[in-house]
Structure 1
């Protein structure tokens, strides 16, 4: 009989990371395994509804919900506004790399206590900073990459892919890639040196130069639809596995098209800039004012500061909406391009306009456009005509619609996420050596 495993998930506090881990945790839960999340207290009592246990390994200095908490940090950290991608990338590294390292240092003892108490068979880590007490615990660990794969380009040496977080085309100048990658690495060097000094002082192995994390010797998983993977320009090691999505269930969420929109003409469009970018109120007002001139109807995820702006007559929205249910009912999606929304939109075969704000959103938007599967626009600089005409272009593109429906049918039929259970159960049954089989 199959052995019941205890699987410990350790995601960063960000909404996207946790939601992706929830999707993986659910398929493992459904196989009868015990799922435990080691999280910050801002996630307290938010994971039990999925049948998961919670281990609080860190207290925050805020009473805000997770989305608002990170939105406030990103707003103060220079992640919003019309800035070059490299400037935002440096701001992101300064904000999150340093912030996550401080959190890891502060919570290390509680992490050790958590491992001793939970006694996991497998650990799943989602993030881009080394977690020493987990990765050196002797317990097999899985690295789950819930962002665009280019986001973790610093983790391995691969000159065949562009540096992440900058939205560079896959066929652009490799000399430029090297220059920009060197610039990114140089900005990270002081952070990594300080982290390594702390690792040494705590008797942990140090990290290689210019790396915040290294891949798992056991198993590495990432999510991107097959049609957008980077296997056309590079080859990944045998213990790397691609999945079309890590989508969570709806947990009995319900959604009906609001009465306000039912009788109005036009196609139905979902507009969301995510839990963080939605706090850029000036941007939301700008985009909403443009969409108000469209002949179509809009469901809007307004974000944490939803009370600070009004919607037009052809719109309905709330602070948050049950996205999975909404995606099933709309004709088109306008999104910031976070990897969960990005892959979930492909799951349902909807055409997409991506308005990237920072980091892997630039890479998702670029990959979508260069593969001819959607449109990338600058949310701060696109004109009214560009946005409105892009909506109509995608809605009227019958060839694209058929292509996206084929992709959707392939994804839904394959149920690729179910393969996670096979890989993790196989890892647990053979803990003497890492997985070394044909990459999926």
Structure 2
């Protein structure tokens, strides 16, 4: 099999970038070359993994998308701490107000990406993309492209509960209809693309009443992939959308040049070791972080805390150690329990290393992962709008002491490690590139 050159692209969010780099590592292990095109801030992450880098030019190179998202948390934190249906009702009310900023940010991202693909596509044999949406449809006849879905996969199951609802597969389906209607109205305006781009991508324009998330993921040039363990996949909601295939996981490998040592502050303290992280965005909700830290301070266990970008505003208790950014993969391997927002990268890493988890979902697919944890009896779900001291501390003790729960997670971990689905997926990609070249 020849060596192929892949251009990797992803949404401007750490989770999507980490996901595309995990997949890139697998391509490199198979003998291929990968180059990530993105903002300069991600260069070191790519190059550490042997992935070359093309920086974005233009306005987006200097934009501060991180600050925009943090500002969104400041403006809407009280809305994110509502159950998902009410959260999206609120979003629907103010969606149109931010249309100009959303469209400008999208164009700032798309223009340098389009420039790189059109001017340098002859340097590459294919594109891999962790970018939900139809952008790559423009290049159908130019170069092979393979989309990845790094979120929980409910959007790929039309017969399942609505994506981001956190509803059980056994819940009242009449609620599903209402949720989809509210979700669509909340996102139609926010995701409305300029008409000339819609036309170029072959997508009919939609209005507030006809938007459907499925339109953004139905078109696959040849094959697309999502990562979710076979033991947790939504097979009871089959079939999956056409041309989408599951991979058990493609998590990032541990960095060999770093090691995590349990901080001296915690080494001689009693109790189990627990990792607490709410991810890049939810950790910016200082009100919620302070409330959770105050509760965890009353636990007899020890905590390693990923404090997030505003960590300097947080004061940790005596049974805690943390930094704004920590070596998450190394830490998860060493702890007894993970308390997480349920973002899919952390979710997959926690499962891969066989750790029980408590999920405190903040938005989007985090709610779906939290509900799946409950349905498969591998941990607990605590909603951010229902945080109380006694239930959280009780969940910690149950998760640590339930040996049958731990055995279920270990079995999932072992199956993920033994899976050859990623290797087979890369073979499929190689075959599709070969067909395209003919």
Task: Give TM-score, length-normalised by structure 1.
Answer: 0.88
- Bigger shift: 9-18 or 228-237? 228-237
C-alpha distance 412-286 of structure 1, shift in aligned 2 (>3 A): same
C-alpha distance 175-387 of structure 1, shift in aligned 2 (>3 A): same
Of residues 275, 287, 290 in structure 2, which corresponds to 1:285? 290
C-alpha distance 190-320 of structure 1, shift in aligned 2 (>3 A): closer
C-alpha distance 214-412 of structure 1, shift in aligned 2 (>3 A): closer
Show the counterpart of 1:408. Answer: 413
Show the counterpart of 2:317. Answer: 312
Q: Is 2:211 aligned against 1:206?
A: no
Gapped regions of structure 2 (runs ≥ 5): none
Q: CA deviation at 1:126?
A: 1.4
- Do the aligned partners of 2:222 and 2:243 also contact (CA within 8 Å) in 1? yes
- Do the aligned partners of 2:60 and 2:109 also contact (CA within 8 Å) in 1? no
CA distance in 2, matches of 1:206, 1:196: 11
CA distance in 1, matches of 2:290, 2:42: 29
- Do the aligned partners of 1:104 and 1:131 also contact (CA within 8 Å) in 2? no
CA distance in 1, matches of 2:54, 2:112: 10
Q: CA deviation at 1:100?
A: 6.3
Of residues 290, 297, 302 in structure 2, which corresponds to 1:297? 302
CA distance in 2, matches of 1:339, 1:97: 27
CA distance in 2, matches of 1:284, 1:48: 32
- Do the aligned partners of 1:224 and 1:343 also contact (CA within 8 Å) in 2? yes
SS in structure 2 at match of 1:408: helix
CA distance in 2, matches of 1:106, 1:19: 21
CA distance in 2, matches of 1:207, 1:280: 38
CA distance in 2, matches of 1:307, 1:298: 17
Of residues 211, 223, 240 in structure 2, which corresponds to 1:219? 223
Show the counterpart of 2:428. Answer: 423
* Within-5 A mapping of 1:358-373: 358-373=363-378
Structure with the bigger percentage of helix = 2
Equivalent residue pairs, number: 423
- Bigger shift: 5-14 or 129-138? 129-138
Show the counterpart of 1:436. Answer: none
Show the counterpart of 2:127. Answer: 123
- Bigger shift: 299-308 or 31-40? 31-40
Of residues 221, 234, 240 in structure 2, which corresponds to 1:230? 234
- Do the aligned partners of 1:145 and 1:223 also contact (CA within 8 Å) in 2? yes
CA distance in 1, matches of 2:422, 2:287: 38
* Within-5 A mapping of 1:134-153: 134-150=138-154, 152=155
C-alpha distance 112-291 of structure 1, shift in aligned 2 (>3 A): closer
C-alpha distance 409-44 of structure 1, shift in aligned 2 (>3 A): closer
Q: Is 2:195 aligned against 1:197?
A: yes
CA distance in 1, matches of 2:371, 2:99: 24
User: CA RMSD of the aligned region, Å?
Assistant: 2.7
SS in structure 2 at match of 1:10: strand
Q: Is 2:181 aligned against 1:182?
A: yes
Q: CA deviation at 1:185?
A: 2.0
CA distance in 2, matches of 1:78, 1:43: 27
Gapped regions of structure 1 (runs ≥ 5): 434-440
Q: Is 2:70 aligned against 1:72?
A: yes
Show the counterpart of 1:32. Answer: 31
Of residues 82, 102, 107 in structure 2, which corresponds to 1:105? 107
Q: CA deviation at 1:144?
A: 0.4
Q: CA deviation at 1:141?
A: 1.4
- Do the aligned partners of 1:283 and 1:380 also contact (CA within 8 Å) in 2? no
C-alpha distance 24-91 of structure 1, shift in aligned 2 (>3 A): farther
CA distance in 2, matches of 1:387, 1:19: 29
Q: CA deviation at 1:195?
A: 2.0
C-alpha distance 199-91 of structure 1, shift in aligned 2 (>3 A): farther
Q: CA deviation at 1:181?
A: 1.0
Q: CA deviation at 1:41?
A: 3.7
Structure 1 residues 140-177: Cα deviation after superposition (integer angstroms, max 9, x where no partner): 21110001112x36xx8x2x211111211111121221
Of residues 113, 116, 120 in structure 2, which corresponds to 1:114? 116
C-alpha distance 177-257 of structure 1, shift in aligned 2 (>3 A): same
CA distance in 1, matches of 2:180, 2:32: 41
Show the counterpart of 2:243. Answer: 239
C-alpha distance 97-12 of structure 1, shift in aligned 2 (>3 A): farther
